[in-house]
Amino acid sequence: MTARRAAVPADAAQLSVLMRFLQESATAVGLDAAQVSTFELALEEIFMNIVMHGSRPGIAPRVEVSLHRDAESVTMTVEDDGPEFDPLSLPPPDVMASLADQRVGGLGVFLVRKMMDSVRYARIAGRNQLRMSKHLGG
Amino acid sequence: MNLRIETIGEVSCVVPVGRLDFDAAPGFQEALERLLGGAGKPPAAVIIDGTGLEYVSSAGLRAFLLGARAAQRSGVAFALCALQPAVREVFELSGFSRIIPVHADRASALAQTQPGRA
């Protein structure tokens, strides 16, 4: 029942700080390389979403990340105090059309939903909270 | 991330080594665009060899997508090969492996990539 926690401002330069936190925590709770890679991808996608969409001029939200392991699963929670935004409301990207089209939106969140076993959003006490869980094998 | 470009006849093999995250993606995209739309004659085909590619996020996928589009515009064939399991999973889950050809290794990519046909 280990929970580990880190907090940074929503600034792209801080992603490396969070990645170090994740790698250390993931090793400490006993995840294998493939599981670590899944959580790294989820953290990059969700954090960069907050950096790009949650900030107003001069104000960067504060982002808090925690990793928790119990017997069956590992859960990463990302919370921020930016404007209310549910990333799960983004429509899935149209990948087939994207070779001709201008851009692919919502690709990061789409990947996170595919790679995690459960992803839940809640707005709690003025904060966005995204909880992402992956079952452990066996 | 480091990038190496090897020329095999008229084919350019691009070998990215390391992590293709939001930080590395713009440089990778620029390198692909230089290769495809630069001053020199473009190659007949571009093959990305993923042997040393450890990690790709959506920012990296976008760079591949823009590379594939630039190749299509220039009439250059574009394919990937030798993806590591974690990177392959990202390509498959995203649906990108349906729009960009992915081969098991460089030899089959070279054999199956028709120059000038994306």
Write down the H helix ranges in chain A: 15-28, 33-53, 107-115
Q: What is the ipTM of this complex?
A: 0.91
pLDDT of residue A54: 81
* Beta strands across the sheet bearing A127-135: A2-9, A62-69, A73-80, A127-135, A118-124
pLDDT of residue A101: 62
Asked if A6 has any chain B CB less than 8 Å from its own CB, the reply is no
Q: What is the CATH number of domain B2-112?
A: 3.30.750.24
Handedness of CA B51, B53, B55, B56 (dihedral sign): negative
And the tokens for A116? 């995690």
pLDDT of residue B1: 94
pLDDT of residue A103: 61
pLDDT of residue A25: 94
pLDDT averaged over 10-residue windows placed end to end, chain A, 138 residues: 84 95 93 93 96 83 95 96 92 74 76 96 97 88
Domain ranges of chain A: 2-135
pLDDT of residue B118: 46
Q: Which of residues 2-41 of B touch A (CB under 8 A)?
A: 21-23
> A2: distance to nearest CA of chain B, Å?
26
Name the CATH superfamily housing domain A2-135. Histidine kinase-like ATPase, C-terminal domain (3.30.565.10)
pLDDT averaged over 10-residue windows placed end to end, chain B, 118 residues: 94 97 95 86 94 96 92 93 96 92 96 72
